[in-house]
Every structure is written in structure tokens, then in C-alpha cells.
Structure 1
Amino acid sequence: MSDWVHDLPVLWMALVVFGFTYLLAAIIFVAVMALATGERAKSFRAVSPGMLPVLGIIFGLFVAFTAAQVWADNDHASAAVSREASALRAVVLLAAGLPAEQEARLLALIHTYVEHAVTVEWPDMAHQTASLKATPAALAEALQLAVAMTPQGAGQQTAQREIISALGTALDARRQRIIISQSEVNAVKWWCLYLQAVCELLAIAIVHCDNRLASGIAMGLFATGVAVSVLLIVAHDRPFTGQISVGPGSLQQIMPGESTKR
């Protein structure tokens, strides 16, 4: 599915999906009615109506199969962002047990990382251009700072160990959300979904070729079901793209401040 479709507001996305689906149904209706004359009409009427529920069930399975991937991707994306935010929040809390200079430096680095994630990585993930090739400088420096600390007493030793662990968790969660941002329903699945919908629409038109009103109503109802299903999938297809997407709100909340309020 094209980038411009995913970037549309849900209302406009609905207009595109419904418009395309209804246009497809109208073309099939006109074509079948034009061909349903003479001997061809007799052949069309001989097609068994028993095909309709079978084709409908297959279409439903295609929708369920495709939607399962989309829901799983969105769940994983939300979990990755929440895990990253929780890990960074733990670092912020644990930093209170460090000397004032090290605490201030660590908090500044976390703050810089959050700003970079919100302003740079989220737009990149929305366009599926985010990369794992480079580690965020602020987070890498924070990890190096934590490792290089010379703790004074058991409390600071515990804080250092937990900070290092939390920063490692944040790096892993970031890696997961970037990987998930590359996920989408591929072209083969979209082609199969719409091809099955075309088969069902064609079967409806052929079975009801001797009654244009009944054929139009049945095709309109099924086309509406197809459009609703496709819209639901498209709106959630890319976890970090579009009006309905996983946002950086959890990360922005871990360090209240003017620069992170967006």
C-alpha cells in the first residue's frame, strides 16, 4: 500500500478505500450485466448460489490472516515503546543516588536522547527509513558514563549496576521498535485479499444476473464489508505511521520539561 495512503487522515483514507472498492464493484456489475444476454444469461443462471458462502468464508479467512499480523505488530510496537520508557524512567530515578555532577550529566544525556527519538527517529519510523546502523550518541555516552563511574559505597554500586542494566534494556527496546517500524502488509497479501473480493463480487453478480436490483444491493453490501475490512487494516498497517499510530508520548513523560512537551 502506498505511503500517501498511510499518511492520510482516517476520513480521507476511508474515502479512498470506499471509493476504490465501490468503483471495482460497479465495473464488475456493469460488465456482468452487459454480458448476461442470450445463451450467456442461461449459463450465468446455472451457476450455483452455493458458491457465495464458500467464497465469502475464504475472504473472511484472508481478512483474519492479514489482520492478525497487523494487530500483533501494533501490540509489539506499543510494548517496545513502553519498555523503553520504563527503562529510561528507571535510569532517571536511580540517578538520584549518584553524585550531583554525574546525576546532572546523566539526566541531560537522557533528555537529549528523548528529544532525538521524538524529533528524528519517530518521523523516520513513520516513513520506514529509521536505521539500526548507528547507536544514538546520547544513549551510548550515558552507558559509557555509567560504566566509567567509581561508586562510593554499596548504594552507588547498586545504582550503577541497575543503571547499566536499564540502559541496555532501553537500547534493546529501541532496536525492537525500529525493526517493527519496517513491518507492513506486503503487496502479495493485498493482491490476494482484493482478488478474493473480486471473485465474490463476480459470483454475486452472476448468480443474480436476472435481477439487477437484487444484484446491485447484494454487491453493494459486500463491497461495503470489503471496504470496512480494508480500511481497518490500512489504518493500523504501519504501527508508527498515520493518524492511528504508536506515538512517543510514553518517552516524553519520563522527563517533564518544556523541551519534551509537544
Structure 2
Amino acid sequence: MTLTQECIYIGLLVLGILATFATAGLLLWLCSFSRFAPFFQSLHNLSPQVVAIVGILFALYTTFFASDIWNIRDRAQTAIQQEAEALRSLFRLAEQQSPEIGMPIITALRDYARVTIQVEWPLLAQGQPASAQGLDAWRQLLRAVLAPPVVNGVPTSVHAVLLQEVERVQAARYQRLTQSQKHGDPLKWFAVACLGAFTLLTVALIHLDNWRTQLAALLIYSAAISVSFTAAYLQRSPFQVFVVSPQPIAELITTASLLDQQ
């Protein structure tokens, strides 16, 4: 994520929190100090159970929404682990072969990991699609496995496993790229904001007898809404802010193989 994008990202979060407290202040003014206060004061018999009903709706919707966002992060992390496992399996199979067969595969594998971490990962953090370099690096890995010395120099069963692992790498990479493009639905954010506003309104209406008590209740609920809003917003994309770790793939760049010692 660039500095400008990060500033916009954090700015929107701060704006959302300020809007929550501003809404609470507006409701306090309308109910207790504005010329509309007598109308709101006429609603003093509103049942406190209304707060529980609206609050539960807000809590449930926020929970489901946050669960969707965090599931995206979990699926992205799973894809990374699967990609790294396929790469490690390919690495271990390659190092068991002779140098003229195994070293080209290991070199292509390390190049793939390097391009993934140094080129592709920053693009994912910026919310951009995958680079052509990442796909080219995978193609080079596939060419290394399909090279004549490998095809002719290893048993058919071993070569089949090598190809299978290369395909697993591509499948996991595609899944990782897919998850990087998923974000929170704007309509769901709008629904969360509306339910939060209705929750604040019901809190204000059941504390019409004392504006100080009303202020305290509004501030407490505003803080609770801000916490849930912040937690969901910071996790809206798995590769932004609290990014998933690329470490499982990065480790392959520096992992020593048996062929390095020959």
C-alpha cells in the first residue's frame, strides 16, 4: 500500500468514527436542547426493550459481516500455506535428483518465490491484480520440470509427482490472488451504519429524563460501535493493514538444499 493509499485508508476509518460520535452529539442536541426537544420528550414512555431488539440486530449483522471479512483472510492464509507446501514438496523432490536435473528446478523455484515476495506481494497490498512477472515465474518453473533432462532422467512416477506439485502451486496462487481482490460489500457497510444509527436513536429515546445519563449512554454505545466498526474495517482486505504473512513462501528463497553442497 502506498503512502497516499494508506492515508486515505486511515482517513476513512477516522471519518467513520468521528461520524459515529457526531451522530450521538446530534441526537443529544435534538432530544434535549433543540426546538424539537418537546416532541422527543413526548416519547418518554418508549420501552427499554426496543434498545435490546435494535442492539441485537446490529450486533448480529456486524458479527456476520465481520465473520465474512475474517473468513476471506483465513482463506487467503490457507492458500498461502498450500502454495508454500507445494513449493517445499517440489524443493525436496528436486534436491534428491542429480545436480543437472534438480538444480534448474530449485533455481526456478527460488526465482518464483523471489518474484512472489518482491514483486507480486506489494501489488496485492495495493489491491492491484497480479503482475505478469508472477505468471512468467510459474511458467519458468513448469518449463524446468518439463525439460528433457528431467523427463528422461527421472522415473515416470516421480515426474508425475513433480508435475502435480507444480499444478498445486498454480492452483494455490490463483486462490491467493482471488482472495486478494475480495473486499467488504459497500451495501453491507451501509446497513451496518444504518443499524448503528438506529441503535443510538433508541438509546437516546429511553434516556429522555436526564441529559447527562443520555450523554453517558450515547458515548458508551458510540465507543462500542466504533470498536466493532474499526475491527471490521481494518480487516476488509487480507493484504492490507494487517496483512497475511508471506513468510512461508519467503523461507524457500534462503532454504539450503543438498545440491548446494555438491
Pair in the same fold by TM > 0.5: yes
Partners of 1:14 and 1:140 lie apart in 2 by: 40
Partners of 1:3 and 1:197 lie apart in 2 by: 27
Partners of 2:134 and 2:219 lie apart in 1 by: 52
- Residues 1:139 and 1:183: Cα distance change in structure 2 (over 3 Å): same
1:143-222 matched pairs, under 5 angstroms: 143-148=142-147, 149-152=150-153, 154=155, 157-222=156-221
1:1-262 matched pairs, under 5 angstroms: 4=6, 8=10, 17-33=16-32, 34-38=34-38, 40-131=39-130, 136-148=135-147, 149-152=150-153, 154=155, 157-242=156-241, 244-256=242-254
Point out where structure 2 has 5 or more consecutive residues left out of the alignment: 257-262
Identical-residue share of aligned pairs (%): 21
Aligned length: 250
Q: Which whole-Å deviations, capped at 9, do the CAs of 1:133-184 have from their partners, x for residues lacking one?
A: 8861121122122123333363xx3332211111100100000010001111
Q: Which whole-Å deviations, capped at 9, do the CAs of 1:4-32 have from their partners, x for residues lacking one?
A: 46854xxx887555434222322222233
Deviation at 1:3, TM superposition (A): 5.2
Partners of 1:28 and 1:249 lie apart in 2 by: 48
Give the CA RMSD over aligned residues.
2.5
- Contact 1:6–1:241 (8 Å) recurs in 2: no
Runs of 4+ in 1 over 3 A off after TM superposition: 2-8, 12-20, 35-38, 131-135, 151-154
- Contact 2:123–2:131 (8 Å) recurs in 1: no
Deviation at 1:42, TM superposition (A): 4.0
- Contact 1:132–1:175 (8 Å) recurs in 2: no
Amino acid across the alignment from 2:152: P
Amino acid across the alignment from 1:70: I
Partners of 1:73 and 1:225 lie apart in 2 by: 24
Q: Could you tell me the TM-score, scaled by structure 2's length?
A: 0.86
Deviation at 1:95, TM superposition (A): 0.5
- Contact 1:95–1:159 (8 Å) recurs in 2: no
Amino acid across the alignment from 1:138: A
Q: Which whole-Å deviations, capped at 9, do the CAs of 1:213-262 have from their partners, x for residues lacking one?
A: 111111111111111111111121111111x110211101123169xxxx
Amino acid across the alignment from 2:165: A
Deviation at 1:118, TM superposition (A): 0.9
Q: Which whole-Å deviations, capped at 9, do the CAs of 1:76-102 have from their partners, x for residues lacking one?
A: 011000000010011111101333123
Q: Which whole-Å deviations, capped at 9, do the CAs of 1:115-138 have from their partners, x for residues lacking one?
A: 111122111111221248886112
Point out where structure 1 has 5 or more consecutive residues left out of the alignment: none
- Contact 2:41–2:208 (8 Å) recurs in 1: no
SS of residue matched to 2:122: helix
SS of residue matched to 1:237: coil
Deviation at 1:211, TM superposition (A): 0.9
Partners of 2:223 and 2:232 lie apart in 1 by: 14
SS of residue matched to 2:244: coil
SS of residue matched to 1:44: coil
SS of residue matched to 2:23: helix
